[in-house]
A and B are shown apart, each in its own frame.
Chain A
């Protein structure tokens, strides 16, 4: 049972593609072996920037010989048919045998398929694996690329090692032949090395400065980076993405710590970290202890909240960024200080660019920066970003003035809006009046996009919002405004912090509403998998803001307001006359349903993902007419609580039985009877002066009949229970006490059970039957006041 080693060597594979390549190599190898009938046991796949390696342990030397039988024509069939059968199966006529098949003698061929040497199978499999290998991007190269049919690989493929046991698996593709030779580290060990097989592969490479196991390299980087930081008295800021990336950039990783000029720490820490990580793949460190020599010499000078223009005034505190970086070299350098110094210079140049941007940006106020937004198109039909900011400001003000966002919402711990990075923020928004809140929200909204035209965000788009917050604080704007600018993009995707500070909530909600409604107005709505303007994400943001802060907002009303602001913008753009026509086309009734429906759909998806039973969501949503998401969700939750109780389960059973009977009897109640007038709409004739008296007579007749029999005790009990429960349920729903509404329903459980036990619905007397069916319909209707139980499974 020999082990098999395959190494595919090439020029440097992008770090981000290596994990996928390992999966692909394993998949294709297993596919080929399965097709060849070779059982594969233990499989290991490794990668470095310069090679993919696969070791399959304990492969059979050869596949088993198999003997297969083929059924041929019956005895006495024409010669031509029998000979054809022989040809097809590669046997001669003498080798056929006769056997009985259902009483008929039939020719059989026994075909012996000899086992094949695994080595031969591998030699065929390797070129197939290489040819079928799928890379995110691949290229052609060299003289063979005169034709576009030449081999493609992620970068030029340079060598193949393929050894089964100790024997070479002979194969070649596009002029690259397999062999025993590979290369060690590009610089430490540039010559060829000869591999004996799977057994010595890893250690021979290690001796040649190549750690072929990617996880071992990752561990070396993880531990090494921690160690060099700790040796310098610092704490490494962990970043697993960087660990993996650096492991994909090195064959012989050596983490090294360097220092940069402390003066750069004036730049916001996020900028430093991003510069180091994105551009240079460096880790950063924090100081675990106060650095010596701080101003005043005290342990913590206690920074004043206002006035200090530096964004990071407390940098001498524990846990703050230190002026150190950890880079990962790919060599054991003759003099590591030389490598560190080179890296330090590069980082210094990057940081001085960042500081230049920071200082340039601070020269102008955010209000001045915001003027630059007039040059940036948000969307051709929705104007510039400046236009958008104007709309968002008006909408944010409105959300406050309407009392949808209230100043009294207590900020809750653990979410944004609390503490600023400088640790200076303290004043909660609790003390604001609604009018002050509206002013702050408007101010923040007008400035919230201004950082898009700053140098820093131009360089690092991912810092949008965050930089605006820094600049706002640096120019002395109120903390509520700075926080709102910083956090107004939140929540971005599921799991992100949801703002709770009222000013931030107003701006964030207004921004997302404007985006969602705006694109709905201009009919750029998501279809299928296409959502180019990320409207689903905006909708989820709106939902999370509403639910987290328990905002009571009628969605059609808010949609109308946002639509109105877009219409006013449009009027400026195309003139009042043209706008009238535009409004009637774009701001139709349909819009005011479409936006709330879209939000409701997203809420459904979101709740399903959060583990709420989809049938319960459907049961509440099916009622329709509800666009208050907070109320909607409270009802779903109460229903979920109820339906899992014994009462709930039994009531559901009773409901299903009632509904089934009503369905079976095709019972549509009194109105259903009227439909026999032959009109398509059963109540079409109700306003007809001639027909009205007829209908009235018929109605009263039916009503009279309802009361014409003496109800049985269980029937009477159900009527009484309904009489009691219905108003209770209605009142509870109005009071939004959904638990009480559920308990009102629960009181119907015993009576409905009894009713089914004791009462025959299909009484021989038609009037009794009708009144009992009506009673069941009434029961069903009462349950529907809370939720559409027909949607519930079980």
Chain B
């Protein structure tokens, strides 16, 4: 039993840092979820964030979400940029009064001492036209480096958030580089047994950068985009908005890949973004409308 007791070393191990965050937020009453099994650009796309931000019911969750940003790929040659990286998401609804203190405490447990490091909350409002969402908040600086995006959601899918959720998005690699004191992401210790981040991901970055920028079949991507769009409409027509939302997420990522391949002109760009936005918003709207009667039954004073 005692052999299994956690002996975490978040200052020297990437995975221990993640596990320590899990421990911390689990104690705070969060569900510890697993990543959404789709390619997406940010943890906010996880249904545990977007769809759960809608409606009156309380919700607390924390999870790691792998994020894909095809245009940020640098073939493994840049010490700071990756086309695939991890975000740690915490969503607390309604936002608790001590959310800033909880957040700062989570930094302490992974080894950031606020009297050694200069922690600052710098205005950075968040807006996702794709999701019809916006919120106010900050980017949190640690010695001048942005380590977390901190947002109070005000609208999602075009609906007012009632109540408001607080969302924390930690940039895990940046934070780990900071805590471990390394200048190159690939030098991060992934565990305490000598495996580095580079051992795990360097080859992936090389190959995926090449695929994103040079190889991906653009005709097939255009086709995929169209199919995701059509399937999303099909799902909406059959009242399965969660399935529709997945297709919107898919279309969004395919669009990012097309961008990386450089085959979308400036003029077309706006039109594609508009199409993705329409899908995502329609899915959120359908979801909210479908759930609203149940929500209202539980919270009679609440309305969409």
Binding site for B on A (CB under 8 A): 11-12, 14-16, 49, 137-148, 154-156, 158, 186-188, 249-250, 280, 282, 327, 329-331, 333-335, 338-339, 341-343, 345-347, 349, 356, 375-377
Instruction: For chain B, give the interface size range.
Output: 35 or more
Given A146-B299, A334-B115, the answer on whether A377 and B162 have CB atoms closer than 8 Å is no
Query: Quick one: which of B103-144 are within 8 Å of A by CB?
Result: 104, 113-123, 125, 135-136, 138, 142-144
Q: How far is the CA of A141 from the CA of B299 in the complex (A)?
A: 18
Q: Decide: B144 and A280 in contact? CB cutoff 8 A.
A: yes
CB of B188 to closest CB in A, whole Å: 14
Write out the residue numbers on chain B whose beta carbons fall within 8 Å of the beta carbon of A155: 136, 152
Q: Decide: A140 and B118 in contact? CB cutoff 8 A.
A: no
Q: Decide: A141 and B178 in contact? CB cutoff 8 A.
A: no
Sample of 17 A–B contacts (CB below 8 Å): A140-B154, A141-B95, A141-B164, A145-B94, A145-B161, A146-B162, A146-B163, A146-B302, A148-B160, A156-B152, A186-B119, A249-B122, A280-B144, A331-B114, A342-B118, A356-B78, A375-B267
Given A342-B178, A349-B80, the answer on whether A14 and B117 have CB atoms closer than 8 Å is no
Could you say which of A141, A154, A343 contacts B143, with CB atoms under 8 Å apart?
A343
Write out the residue numbers on chain B whose beta carbons fall within 8 Å of the beta carbon of A14: 123
Q: Is B97 an interface residue (CB 8 A)?
A: yes
Write out the residue numbers on chain A whose beta carbons fall within 8 Å of the beta carbon of B118: 329-331, 333, 339, 342-343
Write out the residue numbers on chain B whose beta carbons fall within 8 Å of the beta carbon of A341: 143
CB of B101 to closest CB in A, whole Å: 9
Most A Cβ at <10 Å: residue of B104, B118, B120, B145: B118
Q: Decide: B96 and A376 in contact? CB cutoff 8 A.
A: no
Q: Decide: B266 and A376 in contact? CB cutoff 8 A.
A: yes
Most A Cβ at <10 Å: residue of B116, B160, B301: B116
Write out the residue numbers on chain B whose beta carbons fall within 8 Å of the beta carbon of A334: 113, 115-116
Could you say which of A139, A144, A146, A330 contacts B56, with CB atoms under 8 Å apart?
A146
Q: Is B28 an interface residue (CB 8 A)?
A: no
Write out the residue numbers on chain B whose beta carbons fall within 8 Å of the beta carbon of A137: 125, 136
Binding site for A on B (CB under 8 A): 56, 78-80, 94-97, 100, 104, 113-123, 125, 135-136, 138, 142-145, 152, 154, 160-164, 166, 178, 183, 265-267, 299, 301-302
CB of A251 to closest CB in B, whole Å: 11
Write out the residue numbers on chain B whose beta carbons fall within 8 Å of the beta carbon of A343: 118, 143-145
Given A156-B97, A338-B117, the answer on whether A345 and B145 have CB atoms closer than 8 Å is yes
CB of A93 to closest CB in B, whole Å: 50
Q: Decide: A156 and B95 in contact? CB cutoff 8 A.
A: yes
Q: How far is the CA of A585 from the CA of B96 in the complex (A)?
A: 63
Could you say which of B56, B117, B144, B301 contacts A347, with CB atoms under 8 Å apart?
B144
Q: Decide: A139 and B266 in contact? CB cutoff 8 A.
A: no
Q: Decide: A11 and B121 in contact? CB cutoff 8 A.
A: yes
CB of A37 to closest CB in B, whole Å: 37
Q: Decide: B144 and A145 in contact? CB cutoff 8 A.
A: no
Given A12-B121, A339-B117, the answer on whether A142 and B144 have CB atoms closer than 8 Å is no
Q: How far is the CA of A141 from the CA of B114 in the complex (A)?
A: 26
Q: How far is the CA of A356 from the CA of B114 in the complex (A)?
A: 33
Q: How far is the CA of A186 from the CA of B115 in the complex (A)?
A: 10
Q: How far is the CA of A188 from the CA of B56 in the complex (A)?
A: 38
Q: Decide: A140 and B100 in contact? CB cutoff 8 A.
A: no
Q: Decide: A342 and B117 in contact? CB cutoff 8 A.
A: yes
Write out the residue numbers on chain A whose beta carbons fall within 8 Å of the beta carbon of B154: 139-140
Q: Decide: A142 and B94 in contact? CB cutoff 8 A.
A: yes
Given contacts A155-B152, A334-B115, A349-B80, 6 further A-B contacts (CB under 8 A): A15-B122, A143-B163, A187-B114, A342-B144, A342-B145, A347-B144
CB of A258 to closest CB in B, whole Å: 9
Q: How far is the CA of A188 from the CA of B115 in the complex (A)?
A: 7
Q: Decide: B163 and A142 in contact? CB cutoff 8 A.
A: yes
Q: Decide: B119 and A187 in contact? CB cutoff 8 A.
A: yes
CB of B51 to closest CB in A, whole Å: 18
Write out the residue numbers on chain B whose beta carbons fall within 8 Å of the beta carbon of A148: 160, 162
Q: Decide: B145 and A346 in contact? CB cutoff 8 A.
A: yes
Q: Decide: A11 and B100 in contact? CB cutoff 8 A.
A: yes
Q: How far is the CA of A389 from the CA of B265 in the complex (A)?
A: 19
Q: Decide: A375 and B266 in contact? CB cutoff 8 A.
A: yes
Please, which residue of chain A has its CB at the minimum distance from the CB of B96?
A: A142
Q: Decide: A145 and B163 in contact? CB cutoff 8 A.
A: yes
Q: How far is the CA of A186 from the CA of B108 in the complex (A)?
A: 14
Please, which residue of chain B has its CB at the minimum distance from the CB of A152?
A: B154
Write out the residue numbers on chain B whose beta carbons fall within 8 Å of the beta carbon of A12: 121-123, 138
Could you say which of B56, B95, B120, B267 contacts A249, with CB atoms under 8 Å apart?
B120
CB of B217 to closest CB in A, whole Å: 22
Write out the residue numbers on chain B whose beta carbons fall within 8 Å of the beta carbon of A146: 56, 94, 162-163, 299, 301-302
Q: Decide: B123 and A16 in contact? CB cutoff 8 A.
A: yes
Q: How far is the CA of A767 from the CA of B162 in the complex (A)?
A: 90
Q: Decide: B120 and A330 in contact? CB cutoff 8 A.
A: yes
Please, which residue of chain A has its CB at the minimum distance from the CB of B138?
A: A12
Could you say which of A140, A142, A249, A250 contacts B97, with CB atoms under 8 Å apart?
A142
Given A12-B121, A249-B122, the answer on whether A331 and B115 have CB atoms closer than 8 Å is yes
Q: How far is the CA of A330 from the CA of B154 in the complex (A)?
A: 29
CB of B69 to closest CB in A, whole Å: 15
Please, which residue of chain A has its CB at the minimum distance from the CB of B113?
A: A334
Please, which residue of chain B has its CB at the minimum distance from the CB of A327?
A: B144
Write out the residue numbers on chain A whose beta carbons fall within 8 Å of the beta carbon of B266: 375-377
Given A156-B95, A339-B143, the answer on whether A375 and B162 have CB atoms closer than 8 Å is no
Write out the residue numbers on chain A whose beta carbons fall within 8 Å of the beta carbon of B78: 356
Q: Decide: B115 and A187 in contact? CB cutoff 8 A.
A: yes
Write out the residue numbers on chain A whose beta carbons fall within 8 Å of the beta carbon of B116: 333-335, 338-339
Please, which residue of chain A has its CB at the minimum distance from the CB of B125?
A: A137
Please, which residue of chain A has its CB at the minimum distance from the CB of B97?
A: A142
Write out the residue numbers on chain B whose beta carbons fall within 8 Å of the beta carbon of A15: 122-123
Q: How far is the CA of A338 from the CA of B181 in the complex (A)?
A: 11
Q: How far is the CA of A206 from the CA of B270 in the complex (A)?
A: 52
Write out the residue numbers on chain B whose beta carbons fall within 8 Å of the beta carbon of A49: 121
Q: Decide: B164 and A142 in contact? CB cutoff 8 A.
A: yes
Q: How far is the CA of A146 from the CA of B178 in the complex (A)?
A: 38
Write out the residue numbers on chain B whose beta carbons fall within 8 Å of the beta carbon of A143: 94, 163
Q: Decide: B183 and A345 in contact? CB cutoff 8 A.
A: yes
Write out the residue numbers on chain B whose beta carbons fall within 8 Å of the beta carbon of A186: 104, 114, 119
Write out the residue numbers on chain B whose beta carbons fall within 8 Å of the beta carbon of A282: 144
Write out the residue numbers on chain B whose beta carbons fall within 8 Å of the beta carbon of A250: 120
Write out the residue numbers on chain B whose beta carbons fall within 8 Å of the beta carbon of A346: 143-145
Q: How far is the CA of A249 from the CA of B140 in the complex (A)?
A: 12
CB of B47 to closest CB in A, whole Å: 21
Q: Decide: B164 and A375 in contact? CB cutoff 8 A.
A: no
Q: How far is the CA of A342 from the CA of B142 in the complex (A)?
A: 8
Write out the residue numbers on chain B whose beta carbons fall within 8 Å of the beta carbon of A187: 114-115, 119
Q: Decide: A333 and B183 in contact? CB cutoff 8 A.
A: no
CB of A270 to closest CB in B, whole Å: 21
Write out the residue numbers on chain A whose beta carbons fall within 8 Å of the beta carbon of B79: 349
CB of B206 to closest CB in A, whole Å: 18
Could you say which of A139, A147, A158, A331 contacts B162, with CB atoms under 8 Å apart?
A147
Q: How far is the CA of A186 from the CA of B121 in the complex (A)?
A: 11
Write out the residue numbers on chain A whose beta carbons fall within 8 Å of the beta carbon of B183: 345
CB of B163 to closest CB in A, whole Å: 4
CB of B16 to closest CB in A, whole Å: 21
CB of A770 to closest CB in B, whole Å: 71
